[in-house]
Amino acid sequence: MKKTNNHQELLALSAGVAAAVLMAEPAAAQQGKLLVFLHVAMKQRALQTELESALGGIQVTAVGRIGDFERGLQDGVDAVLSLPVLLAAFKLSPKLKGVRGGSTEEAYSLVGVDAEPVPGKITSVGALDLLGRDGTSAFVKGLLNASPRIERVSKVEDLLPLLQMQRADAVLLPSRLFAEIKSASKLALFQKEIGKTVGLPCVASVKPSGDAIASAISKMPTSAAKKLGVDSWR
């Protein structure tokens, strides 16, 4: 009889543990998944860690290539964080917009060696690959109102070697990143802001649960937001 009671107690305990695990899994899943595709002046892994810390429990996947973004989107996420031009390409509407200096857009610059680049005279330009070969080429040529050959790279730090090895006459990047690459080079770099601006990072909901992620991002510490190139959100 005693043996039977012990057996029943073990079964009850096992059932309780299993129930607790099943209850814990949905609770963790409720935090949601965020896919991030941004070119910033830090490693993607470091960015991912920074955002997960700032967003308390939300599962973050940070990628630096358009192919990885497409695969991440297919795997199922609740929200995405990227530039509005990319969101538009995937028919996603911004739920939350980044703000910097009171604006939801920022200036871009051409950076060249020994003199300010002239958009209409450069024959090749390095650019961050945001939309794949055709999309990035169209994006860059639209900003410059010119048709140079486009050299695409996937990281901010990969822009500088294009100038060092003379693979591009100039590189295109957000103006706020000029100081970053200038401090990393012994070249005499000169910056020329172009006339058009580009939208700052935005958040789009892929599922209704993405709205909660957007809300969490809007409340993230200012120090984390600045890593993304924004001061605040609206």
* pLDDT 10s digits, 149-206: 999 999 999 999 999 999 999 999 999 999 989 999 999 999 999 999 999 999 999 9
Tokens, residue 145 = 């109102």
- At residue 126, the 3 state secondary structure works out as strand
Please say whether the beta carbons of 127 and 152 come within 8 A. yes
**Tally of CA atoms within 13 A in the half-sphere of 169 that contains its CB:** 15
Nearest to 156 by CA among 119, 129, 194: 129
- The structure's pTM equals 0.86
What structural domains does the chain harbor? 31-98+201-233 (3.40.190), 105-199 (3.40.190.10)
Residues 6 or more apart whose CB falls under 8 angstroms from that of 124 comprise: 148, 149, 150, 151, 167, 168, 169
- What is the per-residue pLDDT for 30? 52
Reading the chain (234 residues) residue by residue, the pLDDT tens digits are 444 455 454 444 444 434 443 344 444 445 899 999 999 989 999 999 999 999 998 999 999 999 999 999 999 999 999 999 999 999 999 999 999 999 999 999 999 999 999 988 999 999 999 999 999 999 999 999 999 999 999 999 999 999 999 999 999 999 999 998 999 999 999 999 999 999 999 999 999 999 999 999 999 999 999 999 999 999
